[in-house]
Structure 1
Amino acid sequence: MKEKVRIVIWIIVAVLLIGCPFLIQWLMTGLFGTTLGGTNDGWLGFWGGYLGAIITVIGVYLQISLERKRDQERIKKERIADLQKKALENFLNLIHKVNGKYEFIEKCYDEISYLMKYSEVSNETIDKIQQQSISYDDRDYRLHEIKGFVLQINNYYKRSHNELKDIQNQYNEIYANVVTFKINNLQFFPFALDNGLLSDINTSTSQMDLLVKNIENDFEILKILTDLRSIYTTYVQDKDLENIVANLNVIYHGNNNIIEQFKSHDFMKHKKMFDKLMKDTEKAERKYILKTNI
């Protein structure tokens, strides 16, 4: 609609510019008839001044339009640069927050893995105790080893209690931040990586969805830690070593008990993927600073 109005205006201006001299001559010789229409020298001077004025006006208009266009392009580039900077800053903040969570989850994973290995807690040991397929002395030794395992888990839990608060809220916060970023900032992210995890919007969206999925699974390690701690709490109440073994063998998810569930975690794989994402983020930051993407 605006384009049509602009065309109509230009047509009217052109008609007026072309018709104005003829209108003047008609008024001089026709309507009033008071003059002979002017001399050749007079009209030559008139046309020179008239066309010169038109050319000057057109030149000024084109210059103003060009400068305005340049200003608009500059403002647009500055605006894009600001949006890219904000998108990058928000993504860096998001990644560093996730990294903080991953660092704590990794501590939990390493602690449980170490204690499980050190105490030789395994499905095989649990089965032998429950099936009474080992000697009494060996069985008694294994029971106390398993007791030591849950005791150490309980001690670690108490040391980490403050960091373990509001576990579910921490995941929900990460999920909400990722969704908000995808809606508000992702389209402005300064993509600058060839074949990287952040090479374009579609790839980046997939990586962020995968990140949320991995985080959700990895938070299960914290739940396992809480469940292992509750096993020791139960023992404090009933003083029954057999119940520790039975509780370790309780179905946790699907057909896996709590030991199998922990060992089946792909936490280290998830952590490697996150570390790669973090490196790509840092690359994008360096390229943005060098302005190679603008």
Structure 2
Amino acid sequence: MRKILFFLLLIGFPIVLTLLLRLSIFRFAPGQVDSWIAFWGSYVGAIIGASVVYFVAKLQIGKQYEQQIKSIKLENEHSISREMEQFLITTRLGKYEKTIKVCEKLSNLTIELNNEFVKYVTYTDIINNKEDPDRENDFKEKIYAIRTKHSEFHALIILNTTELMTLSNYSPDIKDYCTKLTWKLNGLWAEAKGCYYSKDEYKNYLKPNEQYLLKDAEFILSTLLELIKELNNKINSELIKIEKKIL
């Protein structure tokens, strides 16, 4: 509506001005009508020209402003995207490192559990064969301590395997390994317990040339080692991604 009024004013003003200058009320002004018309025409033309320049400049400034806003929004979106990606990579790295620590704990736990089992078998065999009667009471106390400590092993196995299964959600490709390890570790603990409270079961483990007497100890340790290697590879892969983005 405003544009239409402006256009009508622009067209109608010269016509109205010409008619007004021909009225007797304006005849006292010196000069010819044609001169006044030329003057007012130049005056109005200058106003129109200035108005056009103003509106064109305003339009360009408006477009530049819109372009700047779009550029700022786009940069913000890219910045947020980069920050989110960086956050995800950092989170994954943290979870991988934490998983490695849990695997190391379980590895040490397996070795300690097996070593305690070896001691139990050795002490029990010495007592039953009466190889060192003078130290029999000492061996019995050590066996009692091994049985007591075995309950603590169970609590630690549950705690660490539960954490391992939770962390495996951040790396689904290792979830099957973690599930199998959980079953094997609980089976390892149950195997030792069965021997601790059996009179003659220990005789099945009198194998002095074997490093790991418990059935799945070697499998558990080798699987944990492979798992740690796989997680280290994942960490290196994530670090390479970060390095490429920086460069």
- TM-score (normalised: structure 2): 0.57
Distance 1:107 1:169 in 2: 11
Equivalent residues in 2 for 1:183-194, closer than 5 Å: none
Are 1:63 and 2:52 matched, yes or no?
A: no
Unmatched tracts of structure 1, length 5 or more = 1-11, 120-151, 179-210, 246-257
Distance 2:151 2:191 in 1: 12
- Whether contact under 8 Å (2:164, 2:178) holds in the other structure is no
Aligned to 1:94: 92
Aligned to 1:44: 42
What percent of counterpart residues are identical? 7
What is the aligned counterpart of 2:219 among 251, 262, 281? 262
Are 1:34 and 2:12 matched, yes or no?
A: no
Match of 1:34, SS state, is helix
- Which has a greater percent of helix? 2
- Whether contact under 8 Å (2:100, 2:228) holds in the other structure is yes
Structure 1 residue runs of 4 or more that deviate by more than 6 Å after TM superposition: 113-116, 154-157, 242-245
Equivalent residues in 2 for 1:124-203, closer than 5 Å: 158=152, 161-162=155-156, 164-165=158-159, 167-168=161-162, 170-172=164-166, 175=169, 178=170
In structure 2, relative to structure 1, the CA distance for the partners of 1:25 and 1:282 (3 Å cut) is same
Question: Number of residue pairs matched?
Answer: 200
Equivalent residues in 2 for 1:187-226, closer than 5 Å: 211-226=171-186
Distance 1:41 1:281 in 2: 78
- Code of the aligned partner of 1:262: F
Equivalent residues in 2 for 1:10-25, closer than 5 Å: 18-25=7-14
Q: CA deviation at 1:110?
A: 7.2
Structure with greater Cα Rg: 2
- Code of the aligned partner of 2:94: H
Are 1:285 and 2:219 matched, yes or no?
A: no
- Code of the aligned partner of 2:51: A
Distance 1:222 1:171 in 2: 8
- Whether contact under 8 Å (1:28, 1:35) holds in the other structure is yes
Q: CA deviation at 1:62?
A: 1.6
Q: CA deviation at 1:71?
A: 4.3
- Code of the aligned partner of 1:91: I
Q: Deviations over 1:197-224 (max 9, x none)?
A: xxxxxxxxxxxxxx21313423422331
Q: Deviations over 1:81-113 (max 9, x none)?
A: 244224313431332123212232245357758
Aligned to 1:135: none
Match of 2:20, SS state, is coil
Q: CA deviation at 1:22?
A: 0.9
**Does 107-116 or 53-62 show the bigger shift?**
107-116
- TM-score (normalised: structure 1): 0.50
Q: Deviations over 1:59-81 (max 9, x none)?
A: 13322431442244235324532
- Code of the aligned partner of 2:236: K
Aligned to 2:187: 227
Q: CA deviation at 1:58?
A: 2.2
Match of 2:231, SS state, is helix
